[in-house]
Amino acid sequence: MTAEAEELRAFPSPFSIETPEGCEGWEEMYPPWALFDERRREHDENRLWFWNSMHFPVPMPAFDMVEVDTPYYALGGWQNRAFAVPGAMGVDYRIVNGYVYISPNPVTDPEKIAERSRFFQQRAGYYYENWDELYARWRERMEALNREVSEIPVPGLPEYEPEAVVFEGGEPSWATLLASYRRALDCIERMWQYHFEFLLLGYGAYLTFSEFCKQALPDIPDQHISQMVAGIDVVLFRPDAELRRLARLAIDLGVAEAFREGRSPEEIEAELGRSDAGRRWLEELEKVKDPWFNMGTGDGLYHYYGSWHDDPSIPYSSLIGHIAALQAGEDIERPTRELAERRDRLVGEYEALMDEEARQTFRELLGLSRKVFPYVEEHKFYCDYWFQSRFFNKIREFGALLARHGFIEEGEDIFQLSRYEVMQALEELALTWSTGGEALGPHHWPQIVERRKRILKRLEEWTPPPALGRMPEAVVDPAIAMLWGVTPQQLQEWARAQRDGSGNELAGAAASPGEVEGTARVVRSLEEISEVRAGEILVCTSTSPAWAPIFSKIKATVTDIGGIMSHAAIVSREYGLPAVVGTGTATSRIKTGQRVRVDGTNGRVTVLDG
């Protein structure tokens, strides 16, 4: 093996990563099992760990770790213990300088794979056969859970208990407080249980279809397989459809001038409120908000993302773009007709290459993929956006209570404590409120909060390597390639970029066809989304379906992480935009304002200047 080949077989050892200056003690924010530990060195150092920047692009605050632990044991429970997916168990994770790295646990024993296949076929088959009925019941459960988490009471701990507690056997305030917090955590555990119940099957149907296509049609591109499942309407595109309708209404009512680039939502609404036509538009907006403003501003996995209710900058930025495009005579609709025509043309062309038996199997698997695919995107609206924004707002109520009693400086500080530490703070508050004693919490927690804020801010300045550990011979979990774009070829590209440094060309997965040139807009944080301007090329770590409204403004998408079925790839195809995903380093190698060429057909991005 050449020296170059050997160098490209390994990423940095996770045990070689140094703590950035000023971040000493960052480990205290995370549970011990989440860290690389010398006692597991041999096990951990000889496997691949890649930065899950698709879901966790910035360092994790202590409380937000509930969004790491809970989904990974829910994923493992369904994948490994319930459905027994033949080739994959669960996913291990580790925290490095606040960033989440993951490594899948494959099943490699052929006998074990065969054993699991029998379980999977029986259990997954039941879901596929009864999909519509089971999915309808799932929606009812999720809508009920979203109501439940909003309605959890957070008592104010009054000077004296109300008479109902004394005379009617009501629950004491301290007991309600502790039970309510436990109930909030129970709600998020159930949400993640619901989240993964159908998700694996949605991906599984597509993977089965993809594998069949590659066996029957060895030369078929991955892009063509995904295009045959494109152009299917899902609930996740409804919020943007409503924004497009509101944009037309603003023009029809003669109030479009209120929507000017650079204006805040508050400034726009203030101007609209000064005219009858503007007030009519605002009334229509209120009708749209329930439920469509439950869309999240990000993936929902950080406490500060919120929903469009909490931060309307994304929908208003989209409205500004839609109105400007309409006034310029442009078509702002998703190209669903063109997608359907391309989809049907591809299906016809590939069917013509098969014999009758293969054609029948092809049609059945394609039909199943199209049937179950909507869940792959729709679950995010119910779970990651609607629920998560309400869950974090409920936790804010507990934070406000702790702040009123001096345990933290302000309610938002609660997210600097782990979920276990929050319970400790609430238990002491319940104790000292009940007894009238002096609490230690106001002397203990504020200094911890301030130290962690400083550390997180410094950790955000650190650039994590895309992967750690040993390069695998093969990536056996197809979902890892499909969602994250982690393939042996792409890992080699990441390693080469790490070794050779900067260059003017990046390689990634060809996620959505087409070639365009334009000005790059690098978006690394939620606050920067509103800065995206019409005609720019979006460069980001990954996208969220919550960003869908800005896809009518941009010309193409480039991401650090992601495969052909990542959110960025799916949404780009649905909007007919070229996309290259899984480049590994786009956000660190491309600067806002640079001119770039995006070749979504061949998976190449070229920096043309600077």
Token readout for 539 is 């460069």
419-435 vs 388-404: helix axis angle to the nearest 10? 40
Reading the block at residue 18, the tokens are 């140094």
pLDDT at 500: 62
pLDDT above 70 (res 2) = no
Mean pLDDT of 494-516: 80
Cα separation, 238 vs 16, in Å, equals 47
Mean pLDDT of 90-111: 95
- With beta carbons less than 8 A apart as the criterion, state whether 400 and 394 touch: no
Lowest mean pLDDT among 28-32, 68-72, 270-274, 494-498: 494-498
Q: Rounded to 5 degrees, what are φ and ψ at 107?
A: -105, 120
Predicted confidence band at 326 (pLDDT cuts at 50, 70, 90)? Answer: very high
pLDDT above 80 (res 516): yes
Average pLDDT over residues 557-563: 90
Residues 479-493: tens digit of each pLDDT: 677 777 777 777 777
Q: Minimal CA–CA distance to 316: which of 268, 382, 363?
A: 268
Amino acid at 361: T
The runs of H, that is alpha helices, within 170-264 are 173-216, 222-227, 238-252
Residues 6+ apart with CB under 8 A from 134: 127, 198
Residue 459: both structure tokens together: 């950790």
* Angstrom distance (rounded) from CA 369 to CA 411: 45
pLDDT > 70? residue 111: yes
- Interval 495-513 mean pLDDT: 78
Residue 408 Cα distances to 27, 239, 443, 520, angstroms = 21, 37, 9, 41
User: pLDDT value at position 497?
Assistant: 66
pLDDT (mean) for 202-223: 90
- Residue 18 above 80 pLDDT? yes
User: Minimal CA–CA distance to 543: which of 575, 515, 498, 513?
Assistant: 575
**Mean pLDDT value of segment 277-302:** 92
As a whole-number percent, the residues of the chain with pLDDT over 90 amount to 69
Give the distance, in angstroms, between the CA of residue 37 and the centroid of all CA atoms in the same chain: 28
Q: Residues 424-456: pLDDT tens digits? A: 999 999 999 999 999 999 999 999 999 999 999
Q: List phi, psi (to 5°) of 530.
A: -70, -10
Mean pLDDT calculated for residue range 9-19 = 89
What average pLDDT does the structure give for the chain?
Answer: 91
Helix segments in 274-418, DSSP class H: 276-292, 313-327, 336-351, 356-379, 388-404
Whether the per-residue pLDDT at 178 is higher than 70: the answer is: yes
Say yes or no to pLDDT of 305 above 90: no
Name the packing angle between helices 238-252 and 276-292 (round to 10°). Answer: 180
pLDDT band (50, 70, 90) for residue 1: very low
Q: What is the pLDDT of residue 3?
A: 46
Residue 545 — very low, low, confident or very high, per pLDDT cuts 50/70/90?
Answer: low
Residues 173 and 150: their CA atoms lie apart, in Å, by 19
Helix runs in 380-466, H state only: 388-404, 419-435, 441-459
Strand order in the sheet with 604-607: 505-507, 604-607, 595-599, 515-523, 537-540, 556-559, 579-581, 509-512
How far apart (Å, rounded) are the C-alpha atoms in residues 524 and 543?
10
User: Stretch 144-171: mean pLDDT, rounded?
Assistant: 95
- Residue 231: pLDDT over 60: yes
The reported pTM is 0.90
- Cβ(568)–Cβ(79) below 8 Å: no
Q: Residue 37 above 90 pLDDT?
A: yes
Element housing 33 (H / E): none
298: CB partners within 8 A, 6+ apart: 305, 526, 544, 546
What is the C-alpha to C-alpha distance for residues 265 and 243, in angstroms, rounded to an integer? Answer: 14
* 498: confidence class by pLDDT, cuts 50, 70, 90: low
User: Is the distance from CB of 488 to CB of 474 less than 8 angstroms?
Assistant: yes
pLDDT digits 0-9 by tens, 334-344: 888 888 899 99
Measured from the Cβ of residue 412, the count of other Cβ atoms closer than 10 Å reads 15
What pLDDT sits at residue 5? 47
Distance CA 468, CA 59 (A): 17
- Report phi then psi at 29, rounded to 5: -75, -10
